[in-house]
């Protein structure tokens, strides 16, 4: 593709940072599209800034505010003569106002239309849309929380319930209600959180399923036609945040894949979907499934699908945005092997998963057959609480699920990030757990096995680490260096 005389866009800008900015830049390079990136001062020395053809600094009250500043980013695009913008995930990726501002400036937003983003971004409206097209949604209370019969309707649905923000998604703005006496308080908290986080206090109440699987289907659409690229299972979650993802799901056979895929393609087609999207489903032990939400962007966990289907999803997004028809046919899309992604985060698993901060003192990323690491890390980087704690994605592909697990474990064990605490050992404990090996990975997995996952390392490993720390310590080395060799040779200086 790099030899193509006419690139799909004369220049494209990435409105994001970290690993996803690098991922998109890599794709633009492979498509022969000149690239640009915006960055906040905190990311000045990041690999993304070094790897882009052009980089423009943006500023804000906080680093996050800079990456959310539509006016500033659109102005930077206009100044650079950018023809298209890839938003990555997070930040402005699902922001219809951003897509409209770009369109007004004559710039292509690499993603679906603003209308589709608004529809799917509104959880109440998208549920209705999906139900109207005949696809299953979880049982819910249709009344507004202020309506007279609401309390009774909620009680009729049965507990536990989940209160969600209509403008929420991705696990934000969710509150579980175990019993009737908690309902009033939960509704108040949820509405205030929804207002605070999303500027939209509308909430809705659904039946809450425990110990189900979270299965999502990757779709690609060009507005005329849509295909699916199978499912990803993302059931291993902590506080509604995904920790480990895989494709295919150990709980999905060919027949179920066809059913889930047909539902996802049906929903995407009904919305005349353009670009890459993900339809998330709840999957019950009885084999039922319900629509949860549709994410109108590239997902964090997209690499597992890419490895299993051999498709560059970001390149497909760019082609579709450039007006090219979908080149993939459903019949030709077959999963090959198995892939697992681990989210390497700066957090202290043993210390209540609090975020860790620090400076990257030494870095060695995993390599090897079937191993892919999507990372935005560099030595010297300050890891602060200003951004999401995701540092890198350690992904492994193998011919079988067990082969993928083994390679992912090997990759985690050979990942060296010194200077900031990470959850690498915790991720390895998940992959090495017998229940994970069996594919018994519903949303209750972490809660059920947390004590084992957080078990202290063996004493002999600890002793060796302490010995290494003692010998590596600057103080020890200074004393060693200062010690006359005669005394050293004599030995036994304390006893």
Binding site for other proteins (CB under 8 A): 61-65, 171-172, 193, 196, 239, 241, 347, 350-351, 353-359, 361-362, 364, 384-386, 389, 412-414, 416-419, 421-422, 424-425, 428, 456-457, 461-476, 479-480, 483, 487-489, 491-495
Q: Which two tokens stand for residue 150?
A: 């609401």
DSSP codes, 158-181: -SSEEEEEEEEETTEEEEEE-SGG
* Shortest distance, position 373 Cβ to other proteins, whole Å: 15
Comparison of 50 and 463: residue with beta carbon closer to other proteins = 463
Comparison of 253 and 473: residue with beta carbon closer to other proteins = 473
* Shortest distance, position 343 Cβ to other proteins, whole Å: 13
Q: Using an 8 Å Cβ cutoff, are 7 and 297 in contact?
A: no
Q: Using an 8 Å Cβ cutoff, are 40 and 76 in contact?
A: no
* Shortest distance, position 403 Cβ to other proteins, whole Å: 18
Q: Using an 8 Å Cβ cutoff, are 21 and 14 in contact?
A: yes
Comparison of 63 and 230: residue with beta carbon closer to other proteins = 63
What span, in angstroms and rounded, lies between the C-alpha atoms of 286 and 209? Answer: 12
Comparison of 39 and 273: residue with beta carbon closer to other proteins = 39
Q: Using an 8 Å Cβ cutoff, are 315 and 32 in contact?
A: no
φ, ψ dihedrals at 365, nearest 5°: -85, 155
How distant, in Å, are the alpha carbons of 3, 88, 170, 431 from that of 252?
40, 28, 23, 19
* Shortest distance, position 169 Cβ to other proteins, whole Å: 12
Comparison of 42 and 70: residue with beta carbon closer to other proteins = 42
* Shortest distance, position 350 Cβ to other proteins, whole Å: 4
Comparison of 131 and 469: residue with beta carbon closer to other proteins = 469
Identify which of 34, 35, 32 has the alpha carbon closest to the alpha carbon of residue 1.
32
**Residues forming a β-bridge with 205:** 141, 163
* Shortest distance, position 19 Cβ to other proteins, whole Å: 18
What span, in angstroms and rounded, lies between the C-alpha atoms of 45 and 141? Answer: 50
Comparison of 334 and 487: residue with beta carbon closer to other proteins = 487
H or E element that contains 149: none
- What separation, in Å, do the N-terminal and C-terminal C-alpha atoms of the chain show? 72
* Shortest distance, position 351 Cβ to other proteins, whole Å: 7
């Amino acid at each position: 593709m790099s030899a193509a005389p006419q690139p799909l866009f004369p220049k494209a800008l990435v409105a994001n940072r970290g690993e996803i900015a690098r991922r998109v830049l890599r794709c633009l390079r492979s498509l022969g599209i000149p690239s640009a990136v915006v960055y906040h001062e905190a990311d000045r020395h990041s690999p993304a800034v070094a790897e882009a053809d052009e980089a423009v600094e943006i500023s804000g009250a906080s680093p996050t505010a800079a990456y959310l500043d539509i006016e500033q980013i659109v102005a930077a695009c206009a100044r650079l003569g950018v023809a298209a913008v890839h938003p990555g995930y997070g930040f402005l990726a699902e922001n219809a106002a951003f897509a409209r501002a770009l369109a007004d400036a004559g710039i292509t937003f690499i993603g679906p239309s603003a209308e589709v983003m608004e529809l799917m971004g509104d959880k109440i409206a998208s549920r209705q849309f999906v139900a109207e097209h005949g696809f299953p949604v979880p049982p819910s209370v249709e009344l507004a929380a202020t309506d007279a019969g609401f309390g009774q309707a909620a009680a009729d649905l049965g507990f536990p319930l989940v209160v969600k923000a209509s403008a929420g998604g991705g696990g934000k703005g969710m509150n579980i209600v175990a019993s009737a006496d908690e309902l009033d308080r939960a509704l108040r908290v949820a509405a205030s959180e929804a207002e605070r986080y999303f500027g939209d206090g509308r909430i809705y109440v659904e039946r809450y399923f425990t110990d189900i699987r979270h299965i999502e289907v990757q779709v690609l659409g060009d507005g005329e036609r849509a295909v699916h690229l199978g499912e990803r299972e993302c059931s291993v979650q902590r506080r509604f945040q995904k920790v480990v993802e895989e494709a295919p799901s150990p709980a999905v056979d060919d027949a179920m894949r066809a059913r889930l895929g047909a539902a996802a393609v049906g929903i995407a087609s009904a919305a005349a979907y353009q670009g890459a999207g993900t339809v998330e489903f709840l999957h019950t032990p009885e084999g039922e499934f319900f629509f949860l939400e549709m994410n109108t962007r590239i997902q964090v966990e997209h690499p597992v699908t890419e490895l299993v289907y051999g498709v560059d999803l970001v390149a497909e997004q760019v082609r579709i945005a450039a007006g090219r028809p979908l080149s993939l046919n459903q019949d030709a899309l077959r999963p090959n092997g198995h892939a697992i992604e681990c989210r390497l985060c700066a957090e202290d698993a043993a210390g209540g998963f609090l975020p860790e901060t620090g400076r990257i003192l030494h870095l060695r990323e995993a390599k090897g057959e079937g191993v892919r690491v999507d990372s935005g890390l560099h030595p010297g980087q300050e890891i602060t609480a200003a951004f999401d704690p995701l540092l890198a994605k350690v992904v492994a592909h193998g011919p079988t699920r067990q082969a993928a697990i083994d390679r992912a474990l090997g990759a985690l064990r050979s990942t060296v990030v010194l200077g900031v605490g990470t959850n690498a050992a915790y991720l390895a404990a998940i992959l090495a757990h017998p229940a994970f090996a069996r594919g018994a990975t519903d949303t209750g997995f972490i809660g059920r096995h947390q004590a084992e996952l957080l078990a202290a390392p063996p004493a002999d490993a600890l002793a060796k680490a302490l010995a290494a720390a003692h010998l590596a310590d600057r103080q020890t080395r200074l004393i060693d260096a200062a010690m006359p060799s005669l005394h050293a040779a004599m030995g036994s200086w304390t006893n």
